[in-house]
Amino acid sequence: MSAPDGVAAALEALRARAEPGRAEGSAACHKAPRVYLGTPNPALNDLARDWRRALGVEERVVLARDLWSTDIHEARIAAAKLLTQARIRPDGAVWDLLAGWVPDFDAWAIADHACSALGRRIEADLARLDAVEVWTRSDHMWSRRAALVSTLFLAKPNHPTPAQLAARERVLGWAAGYVPDRDWFIQKAVAWWLRDLSKHDADRVRAFLAEHGDAMKPFARREAAKYLSD
């Protein structure tokens, strides 16, 4: 597939793959007031993959920026997918664009796809955790949540390097600070992080729950301990 000739062509491609009746269901599910096209995720994956192959980094940044600016549900997800890649060189403009989207987050699907792209850039340069830590102090719930969702990759190594281990402990400190926050999405994010970590370092999750578990919402504690044996 050739590269789209600007955002109008990209939107036409998204609309061409929409499924009848799907837009209404997406709007009801995600609730954020924006346009929904009804394009399913597999089609978004295919389009984003083809666009990544056809476009250079600078061109991808421009298209992703323009897609995000439409505030169309599927266009924002496609924008995030367009920039989700482990190796991008140079990646400074990609990081700046992705980080600039965080204050726009207002629904879980768009936020999660963007956080997946953010996670690749943070993994490429752990010094970016300094910027992520600023999000933990935001009044914007979705920014606070993004600090955990975009760093989930740190929960997954079985044998983390010293730098990864230090970063993991840093994020666990943020998670501990979130425990008093009663927002469902924040509690869910804490539980998600701990649940993923429990598959690789069960003892560390047990220690976290021993210290903070009683203050977590019951559903979050149950989710965090889902894979822990007695």
What's the CA gap between 179 and 132, in Å, rounded?
18
CA dist 138 and 35 (Å) reads 27
What distance in Å separates the CA atoms of residue 7 and residue 189, rounded to the nearest whole number?
Answer: 33
**Residue from 213, 166, 206 nearest 187 by CA:** 213
**Residue 229's pLDDT is what?**
80
CATH topology of domain 1-150: Leucine-rich Repeat Variant (1.25.10)
Do 39 and 13 meet the contact criterion of CB atoms below 8 Å apart? Answer: no
Q: 209 near 221, Cβ under 8 Å?
A: yes
pLDDT of residue 1: 54
Beta bridge partners of 72: 35
Q: What's the token pair of residue 153? A: 């990759």
Is this prediction's pTM over 0.85? Answer: yes
Nearest 5°: phi and psi at 164? -65, -40
Please check whether the domain covering 154-230 is classified as CATH 1.25.40.
yes
Return the pLDDT at 219: 98
Q: Which two tokens stand for residue 86?
A: 């482990």
Q: What single DSSP character describes residue 72?
A: B
Encoding tokens for residue 208? 């976290």
pLDDT of residue 142: 98
Give ranges for CATH 1.25.10.90 in the chain. 1-150
Please give the backbone phi and psi of residue 72, each rounded to the nearest 5 degrees, phi first.
Answer: -90, 135
- Give the distance between the most distant pair of CA atoms in the chain: 57
- pLDDT average per 10 residues of sequence, the chain (230 residues): 80 96 91 94 96 95 98 98 95 98 97 98 98 98 98 97 98 98 98 98 98 98 92
Neighbours of 175 (CB within 10 A): 25
- The confidence score (pLDDT) of residue 4 equals 76
pLDDT of residue 2: 62
> What residues does CATH 1.25.40 cover in the chain?
154-230
